[in-house]
């Protein structure tokens, strides 16, 4: 590492602030709620083997698995005609698993709504396995993703095996606060949702929106990296549904029939999901958690909107602004001021606003407000932003 470069400018999360002052705004993996972390530690201080060492075939793990599934169902009001799987390979694994499970033949069609980085990645992976039709959400002039396209009947083939969307684009800062409904003549087509970064932060109308599959990586809101929750409507699984080329590890039918135990699952990670769900119940359930998400994001957007352009955000439509990932720039991307902001915030324990990603740095910083960030911590960032603007206007 070049010692002349401040750690904050290369995405370091090792702030010199006291540990109790650290607030992790990283886009993921990120921190869990403090109470969840304490419960995990307490579980590891109990006598006997822990989920890090018990066999997935042991009755003790079956109890952990059953608890995680039942609490997810409870918190997210998942109807009985959906199955809950804990899958491997992260979101990228599901990018491939979806067409391999829902398209029996490479000639089958699927429609992808592309309104940001991750839906584009999902589309690009799926086109290896089926025929893709795209509803393009890019701005016609500059190619940016700043809105969500209309879902018109003419743009969705009635032969599509599914319509795919990402409900929160972490890089671009676009969120669907409620899932859309397909046009009436296309409501026979299952809606597929990548909810990796907003799962458990708002209710889902499973039946009304025709959700066929919803998946979410654990490492933003519900646990640790290495686990994905995949929720599948029962009519989409069964013998002969998947492509004959679908690997067993990705096959929804195979894994559902094996009760999530076709191969060794991520035992510890599954236990953590159950602990997070217990915490959500204790904190008021999904409705209360959505209000916290609104409160966290609103206090920061209020600062951005009130300070006469000192801060900017790319999403003008307030109805589409993400509550999870808030991109903002300083004085239209002023490099010196941005670096100063990063260094000062990092030194006081506000970390994760810039991470090095495959998509580059760009002019926007990003505050991610997952379940591990409290309302009080979001307010601290908002207060720092106001103070910094006052001192540097």
pLDDT in tens, 110-153: 999 999 999 999 999 999 999 999 999 998 888 899 999 999 99
Residues 77 and 203: beta-carbon distance below 8 Å: yes
Of all helices (H) and strands (E), which one includes residue 73? helix 59-76
Residues 67 and 61: beta-carbon distance below 8 Å: no
Which pLDDT band holds residue 1 (cuts at 50, 70, 90)? Answer: very low
Give CA–CA dist 207/300, Å, rounded: 33
Residue 196 has pLDDT above 70, yes or no: yes
Helix 267-282 / helix 59-76 crossing angle, nearest 10 deg: 40
Nearest one of 200, 180, 168, 240 to 73, comparing CA atoms:
200
Residues 256 and 237: beta-carbon distance below 8 Å: yes
Per-residue tokens: 386? 């106001």
Mean pLDDT for the chain overall? 96
List residues with catalytic annotation.
118, 194, 220
The secondary structure of residue 233, as a DSSP letter, is: E
> Which pLDDT score, from 0 to 100, does residue 362 have?
76
Give CA–CA dist 92/373, Å, rounded: 25
Q: What domains does the chain contain, in order, with CATH numbers?
A: 21-30+285-392 (3.90.1150.10), 43-281 (3.40.640.10)
Residues 296 and 378: beta-carbon distance below 8 Å: yes
Residue 255 has pLDDT above 80, yes or no: yes
Give pLDDT tens digits for 271-326.
Answer: 999 999 999 999 999 999 999 999 999 999 999 999 989 999 999 999 999 999 99
């Amino acid at each position: 590492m070049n010692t002349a470069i401040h750690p904050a400018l290369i995405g370091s999360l090792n702030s010199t602030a006291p540990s109790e002052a650290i607030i992790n705004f990283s886009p993921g993996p990120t921190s869990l709620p403090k109470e969840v972390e304490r419960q995990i530690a307490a579980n590891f201080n109990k006598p006997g083997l822990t989920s890090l060492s018990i066999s997935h075939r042991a009755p003790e793990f079956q109890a952990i698995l059953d608890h995680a599934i039942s609490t997810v169902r409870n918190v997210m009001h998942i109807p009985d005609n959906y199955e809950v799987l804990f899958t491997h390979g992260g979101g990228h694994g599901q990018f491939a698993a979806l067409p391999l499970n829902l398209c029996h033949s490479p000639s089958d069609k699927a429609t992808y709504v592309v309104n940001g980085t991750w839906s584009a990645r999902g589309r690009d992976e799926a086109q290896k396995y089926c025929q893709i039709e795209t509803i393009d959400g890019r701005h016609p002039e500059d190619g940016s993703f700043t809105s969500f396209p209309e879902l018109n009947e003419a743009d969705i083939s009635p032969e599509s095996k599914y319509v795919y969307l990402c409900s929160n684009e972490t890089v671009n800062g676009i969120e669907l606060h409620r899932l859309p409904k397909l046009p009436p003549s296309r409501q026979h087509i299952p809606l597929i949702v990548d909810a990796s970064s907003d799962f458990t932060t708002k209710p889902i109308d499973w039946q009304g929106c025709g959700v066929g599959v919803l998946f979410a990586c654990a490492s933003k809101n519900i646990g640790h990296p290495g686990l994905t929750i995949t929720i599948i409507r029962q009519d989409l699984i069964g013998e002969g549904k998947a492509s004959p080329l679908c690997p067993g590890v990705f096959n929804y039918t195979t894994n559902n029939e094996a009760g999530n135990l076709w191969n060794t699952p991520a035992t510890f990670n599954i236990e953590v999901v159950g602990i997070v769900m217990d915490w959500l119940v204790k904190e008021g359930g999904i409705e209360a958690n959505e209000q916290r998400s609104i409160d966290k994001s609103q206090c920061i957007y209020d600062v951005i909107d009130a300070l006469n352009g000192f801060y900017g955000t790319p999403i003008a439509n307030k109805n589409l602004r993400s509550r999870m990932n808030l991109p903002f720039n300083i004085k239209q991307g002023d490099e010196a001021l941005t670096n100063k902001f990063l260094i000062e915030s990092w030194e006081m324990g506000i970390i994760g606003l810039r991470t090095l990603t495959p998509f580059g740095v760009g002019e926007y910083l990003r505050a991610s407000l997952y379940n591990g960030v409290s309302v009080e911590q979001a307010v601290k960032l908002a207060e720092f932003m106001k103070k910094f603007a006052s001192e540097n206007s």
